[in-house]
């Protein structure tokens, strides 16, 4: 097994199978045996068993992207 960086709350993942809403970007809200994910597009929450999550994972987005996204959201709210 290759070493894997531990997932942290706020990390984002792109999955192979898109959500019915059309989005395929997810924000991690819970880590562990089950991964808690929130769809970035519709905000729906999903629990995925870790092994299934690992199989579905297509791309892991850098934490910096999250910070950038959060600051953009904050900027949008101020407008």
Which of 62, 15, 64 is closest to 41 using CA atoms?
Answer: 15
Binder among 9, 21, 47, 62 for Zn ion (CB under 5 A): 21
Positive or negative, the CA dihedral 66, 11, 21, 55 is positive
Residue nearer to Zn ion on the CB measure, 22 or 64: 22
CA–CA gap between residue 57 and residue 41 (Å, rounded): 17
Q: Considering only residues 60-79, where is the footprint of Zn ion by CB under 5 A? A: none
Min separation Cβ 37 and Zn ion, Å:
10
Residue 39 binds Zn ion, judged by CB under 5 A: yes
Q: Work out whether 19 is an interface residue with Zn ion (CB under 5 A).
A: yes
């Amino acid at each position: 097994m290759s070493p894997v960086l531990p997932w942290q709350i706020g990390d984002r993942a792109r999955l192979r199978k898109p959500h019915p809403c059309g989005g395929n970007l997810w924000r991690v809200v819970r880590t562990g045996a089950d991964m808690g994910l929130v769809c970035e597009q519709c905000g729906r929450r999903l629990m995925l068993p870790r092994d299934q999550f690992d199989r579905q994972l297509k791309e892991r987005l850098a934490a910096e992207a999250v910070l950038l996204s959060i600051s953009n959201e904050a900027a949008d709210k101020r407008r």
